[in-house]
Structure 1
C-alpha cells in the first residue's frame, strides 16, 4: 500500500533534510519543526476568533445586514470542513510537508485578498480561499507532529499543540479588539501575511520527511465527501436559523445519498479517504466518539454562556469576555501536563477523569447564582477548562498512536473532522434550545452540555476494557 522510507520527498527538500527519521527528528531540527507547526496552527486559530469579533464592524463598514456578515465565518468553516479528509488523504500520497507548505501559501494569499476586499462578496470569496489554506494546515498538523516527535514523546508534542490552540483562543478576542482600536478592519487579515511567511519559511526548512503511499487520489470519493459533509453542515445551519422545511429536507437527503455512496466505495478500499479502516480499531473508534461528544459539549457551553452572563447575570460584553477567560487559560495550563501524562498512563483513564471534571464544571455553571461574584464565575470556568485540558491531549494521542504510521494523514484528518462535527452539531443545538426555551435556554444548553460531557467520559472509560486498552 505504501512505499518504504526510500520513497520520500527528499529530492524536493533542502540538503539538511535528506535523511528520513523513522522515530522523530533529532534536535535542534525537532524544535524548528515544532515551531513551524505551532505558528501555523496559531495563525489559523487566531483568524477564526478575530473574524468572529469583527462581524459587527464588517457589517457596518461594508453596509450589509448582520445576517449577511455571518458568511464571513461560515464560508471559512465550510471550506475547511468539506476539504479536511480529502486533503488528509492527498497528504499521504504526496507528503504531509507539501500539503502543509501549499496550505500555508494559500492561507497567506487568502489573507492578503481579504485585506484588499472592497465588498462583502469579495471578502466572502477570499475567506473561502483562506479556509482552503487552513484546511491544508489542519489536515497535516497531527501527522506532522507524529513524525516530528519520537513515539515516547508524542503525548508531549500533542500537549504543546493543545497549549498553542488554547492560548490562541484566549488571546484572539483581545488581539482583535486591539487591532480595531488602532487600525481599520483590513489589518485583521493583513497581520496574517508576515506570520504566514514566517511559518512557510520554517516549514520548508525543518519539517520531517514521510513515506509516500503508492496509490492514486480518489477524486470521486473526495467530491462525495465534500457533498456529504457540506450538506450536513448547511442542513444543520438551516435548522438553526429556521430555514424552510423543503430546503432542509433536501440538504439532508443529499447528505444521506452522497454519504451512502461514499461509504459503499470506501468499505473495500485498503486506505480509504473516509477512514473506515481506522474505525475498525476499537481504541480509535472510541477516541473519535469521545472527541465528537466532548466538542459538542464544549460548543453547547461556549455558545450559550454569553447569553447566560449578559442576559441572566447582567454583565457587559467586555465583562463576559473577561469572565470566560479562565476556561482557555486553565486548558492552556493543564494540556501540556496531560500530554506528558499521556505518554505513561491510559488515555481512557485520563480522558474519563478530565471529562468528568468537565461535566462537573458545566453543571456548576448551569446552577450559577443570579448575582454571582467574579470569583464564583471564575472557578467554575476554570474547572470546566481544566477538565477539558486533561482530556484533550491523551485523547488525541490515542487517536494518532492507534493508527498505523502510514495512515497518519487519515487519523489526523479524522481528528480534526470529529472536532468540527461536534462543534457544528453543538452550535445547531444551542440555536434550537435558545429559540425553544427562551430565558431558560442558556441553562438548558449547559445541562445538555454536562450530559454530553458525561457521555463522553463513559465512552472514554470504555477504552479501559481489556479488548481496547492497548496503546
Structure 2
C-alpha cells in the first residue's frame, strides 16, 4: 500500500521547480568534467603519477555507479525531497573538503563522499519531476535535465581550466560551494514535501550485493577484465537475495516488465555509442588527421554544445507527439549519423567526423527525453526513486562499457569499424523500440 503523499503538481511554481532540478542535474555533471582537466595539475601538486591521480575521477564515478539505485530506493522510503536535500548538502560539504584536502588520499576520499551525494542528486531529480510538475510538462522537464547534463559536460573543461589558471586546483572544487548552497535553497523553497514509507523496509543485503557487483563491473571495464567473474558471482547473489527479500531493493517482477527492461537496454546501448564518439573522436582527429590539441578540443565541444541546445526542443517534441514516435525518430537520426561517420571518405577531413556528429547528438537528446519520459510516466509514485536510479545506472553502465569496448575496437580496427559497430548497436536499439511499441 502506498503511503507516500505529495503536494499537487498544479499548485507548484513551475519555474522554481525547473531551476532547482536543473541545478541539481548540472552540478554532478560539472564535477566530472571539470575534475578531468585538473588531473595533470593534481599529479604535479601531490607528486603522484597519472594512475594515482586518476582515482580522483574514478572514486567519484564508482560511488555514483554503486549507490545510485540504493539512493533512489531510499528516497522512496524516507521521502525524495528529504534525501535530495541531504544529497545536495553532502555533495556541497564534500566539495569543500576536496578543496581543503592536504594529501591525495584525503582528496580521493572526499571525492568518494562527493560521489555519494551526487548519487542521491542524480537518482532523485528525475523522480521529482512526476511529483512536482503537471504531466503535460514532463517531456519538457526531461529535456531540460538532459540539457543541463550536457551543459555540465561541455562547460567543465573550459571552466575548470580557467579556475585552475586563475586560482589553483582548489577552485575546481570550491566553486561547488556557492552553487550547492543555491541548489539547497531552491530545492527547500520549491520542491513539494513528501512522506515516504519508512526506512525500516530498506534492503541492506540487496544493497550490499548490488554495490559489490557494480563496483566489480566498473573496475573490470576500467582496470582489469578478470573482475568480470566477480561481477557475475555478485549478480547471481544479488538476484537470489532479491527473490527472497520481503521488501527487495529492486522488485524482480518490475525488471521482467518488457517496457521497462527494453527502455533500460536501449538506454545502455545508445549511451555506449555516445561514449564511443567521445573516446574515439580525439584519437581520430589528432592521430589520423594530425590536428593540434586546441583544435581537437574545439571540435569535440560541438557534440556537448549541440546536446545542450537540443534538449529543451526535444522535450517539447515529446510533449507534443508522444514518447513512442519521438523515441524511434531519435534512434533513426542517431543511426544515420553513425552510418555517415563510417561511410564518408577520410579525404573530407574533420568535417567527415564532426558533420555526422552534429546529427548523432540531437538524435540522442531526442531519444533520451522520450525514453526517460516514457518510463517515468508509468511508474507508481512509491517506486519513482528506484526506477529513476535504474535509468541513470543503465546510462552509466553504457558509458563505462562504451569507453572500454569501443576504445578497444578503435585500437584494433580504426574509425570505420568502430562506427559500423556503433550503427549496429543503434539499429538493435531501434528494433527493440519498434518491437516494444
Question: Normalized against structure 2, the TM-score is what?
Answer: 0.94
Q: 1:402 Cα shift?
A: 2.0
Query: Which residue of the other structure, out of 342, 364, 373, is the alignment partner of 1:388?
Result: 364
Are residue 330 (structure 1) and residue 315 (structure 2) matched? no
Q: 1:158 Cα shift?
A: 0.7
Query: Which residue of the other structure, out of 122, 125, 144, is the alignment partner of 2:109?
Result: 125
Are residue 66 (structure 1) and residue 39 (structure 2) matched? no
Q: 1:325 Cα shift?
A: 2.3
Identify the residue that residue 300 of structure 1 maps to in structure 2: 276
Identify the residue that residue 198 of structure 1 maps to in structure 2: 182
Residue pairs, 1:14-413, within 5 angstroms: 20-22=6-8, 24-28=9-13, 30-214=14-198, 216-238=201-223, 243=224, 248-249=225-226, 251-267=227-243, 272-372=248-348, 376-413=352-389
CA distance in 2, matches of 1:185, 1:369: 42
- SS of the residue corresponding to residue 168 of structure 2 reads coil
- Structure 1 consecutive aligned stretches of length 4 or more whose deviation exceeds 4 Å: 268-271, 373-377
Deviates more, 1:444-453 or 1:82-91: 444-453
Q: Is the contact made by 2:140 and 2:319 (CA closer than 8 Å) also made in structure 1?
A: yes
Deviates more, 1:153-162 or 1:321-330: 321-330
Q: Is the contact made by 2:164 and 2:170 (CA closer than 8 Å) also made in structure 1?
A: no
- SS of the residue corresponding to residue 226 of structure 1 reads helix
- SS of the residue corresponding to residue 403 of structure 1 reads coil
CA distance in 2, matches of 1:406, 1:375: 48
Q: Is the contact made by 2:285 and 2:350 (CA closer than 8 Å) also made in structure 1?
A: no
Task: State the Cα RMSD in Å.
Answer: 2.0
Deviations 1:235-278 (A, max 9, x none): 2223xxxx4xxxx44x3333222221221232365763124232
Q: 1:192 Cα shift?
A: 0.6
Deviations 1:412-469 (A, max 9, x none): 011110101111111110343345x1xx4344333322221221122122232xxxxx
CA distance in 2, matches of 1:152, 1:210: 21
Identify the residue that residue 2 of structure 2 maps to in structure 1: 2
CA distance in 2, matches of 1:96, 1:48: 24
CA distance in 2, matches of 1:417, 1:285: 13
Deviations 1:202-229 (A, max 9, x none): 1122211234225511111111111111
CA distance in 2, matches of 1:444, 1:271: 46
Gaps spanning 5+ residues in structure 2: where? none
- SS of the residue corresponding to residue 395 of structure 1 reads helix
- SS of the residue corresponding to residue 23 of structure 2 reads helix
Deviations 1:255-311 (A, max 9, x none): 222221221232365763124232233222211111011101111221111100110
CA distance in 2, matches of 1:327, 1:273: 36
- SS of the residue corresponding to residue 343 of structure 1 reads helix
Gaps spanning 5+ residues in structure 1: where? 6-19, 465-471
**More helix by proportion, 1 or 2?**
2
Aligned length: 436
CA distance in 1, matches of 2:324, 2:435: 7
Q: 1:25 Cα shift?
A: 4.6
Q: 1:107 Cα shift?
A: 0.7
CA distance in 2, matches of 1:154, 1:434: 38
